[in-house]
Each structure stands twice: as C-alpha cells, then as structure tokens.
Structure 1
Amino acid sequence: MGRTSVDAAKLKKKFNKMKDLGPVKKVVRVNTAELQQKAQYGAAVDSGNLKRSIMLQIENAGMTGRVESMAAYGAYVEYGTRFMYAQPYLVPAFLEQKSLFIKDLEALVK
C-alpha cells in the first residue's frame, strides 16, 4: 500500500523548542487510535477478517503512529483490481483524520 504522511514544517520548529513531548505523544496516540477506528468502520465486511486485521502501531518513542491492514488482500480491496472495483477504507479515513490531527497539534503549540 502507498505511504502517506503529514508534513508540517512550521510545527516541527516549534516542537524542537518544547522540553516535554508527552502531550505531543498523547495527540499522536489518540489520533492514531481514531484513524484505526474510522478505517475499521469503513472497511468492507464479508467475513470480518479485513476489519479485524486493521492494526495500529506506535513507533519512534511515541512520535509516529501507523495504521495498516495485515490482511494479505487489504490493498486489493483499497485500490481494486481489473476485475473488482476499489472499496477504499484507509485513505478516506486518513484524509478525514489528517485535518483533525493537524488541528490538535496546532492547539498544542499555541
């Protein structure tokens, strides 16, 4: 699956000045969990395996959150094939959560 990330250069400069990154880690954790829930809600359900296979990982000492489908066919459902239409579940959830995540980070540095 494709990688998508949020680039906020202005926020990075402000975070470098912060001493305690605990609140930032909490924002990352909460928004990653919300992204996982939205992706699970939007996933196509035939057997429920795809929905159950959407996992979250917190990495980089709590500064990075990752949500991905562990099902081998997750990318085929997300992007489709020549025989099957796409049923996106991860990208729409990401696009919805991205603005909320940036808003939470901006509120933190004000």
Structure 2
Amino acid sequence: MLAKAKIILEGLDDLTAALKGKMNLSEIPQVVKKHGAQLSSRTQSNMNAAYTHGYSTGRTRRSVKPVFSDGGMTVSVGPTTDYFPYLEYGTRFMSAMPTLKPAFDVQSQMFINELKRLMQ
C-alpha cells in the first residue's frame, strides 16, 4: 500500500500572524470554503481530461470532495481511492497522469493572492 501524499505550504505561521494583525478572521472560512470547492472542481476537471483516452469508471473522480475542519479554517481535498497514487505518479508499467498537483499549483496561488488582498 502506498503512503498518502502530503503537500506542505511553508510560511503559513507568518501569514496567520499577519492576518490576525491586519484583518477580521471571520472572512477566512468563506475564502477557505470557496477555494476548497474550486480545488475539488479543478481536480475533477483535470481527471476528466486525463482519463478520456483510457479506461475509467469515474470512481476516483467522484471521491474528490472537500473536507472542512477547524471551524472552516482548514480544508482537505484529495481522492480517497487506494489506487490514486498510481494514477497521479505512475508506475513502471503506466505513465503518470497528474491531476491533483496541477490543480493545487494553480488554486493555491489564487488562495494566497486572495488572502493577501484581505490583509490590505
């Protein structure tokens, strides 16, 4: 069984401190909700595009749902199928079909930009 992939954003403590000093944190859960939903949608869209040339039941795509915690301050998004890492990273028999990382790369920058705007 493969270990789950973990993506860590550096500098979140500094960002949190800056946010606490410059804005009302009550807006953050809405921003987290918005970007969590968009990350989920973007990942599913990437899966639709990646899997059009091969066999797909859609199970992995359907398993991508945002899960909120910490009073809406945290969101986790990712497929829950056991075989997702094989699809994302490939195997020696199959090429990688990255869907989550490309979605995260785009969405995380949009999320950070929106938080920065709120700090002004």
Q: Same fold (TM over 0.5)?
A: yes
Give the number of aligned pairs. Answer: 110
Separation in 2, partners of 1:61, 1:38: 24
Secondary structure (helix, strand or coil) at the match of 2:65 reads: strand
Alignment-derived partner of residue 23 in structure 1? 27
Alignment-derived partner of residue 87 in structure 1? 97
Structure 1 contact 6–98 (Cα < 8 Å) conserved: no
Considering only aligned residues, what root-mean-square deviation do their CA atoms show, in Å? 1.6
> Which of structure 1's runs of 4+ aligned residues deviate more than 6 A?
none
Range that drifts further, 44-53 or 34-43? 44-53
Separation in 2, partners of 1:76, 1:55: 19
**Identity over aligned residues, as a percent?**
32
Structure 1 contact 35–97 (Cα < 8 Å) conserved: yes
Structure 1 contact 49–71 (Cα < 8 Å) conserved: yes
Paired letter, 1:26: Q
5+ residue gaps in structure 2?
none
Alignment-derived partner of residue 62 in structure 1? 72
5+ residue gaps in structure 1?
none
Separation in 2, partners of 1:18, 1:62: 19
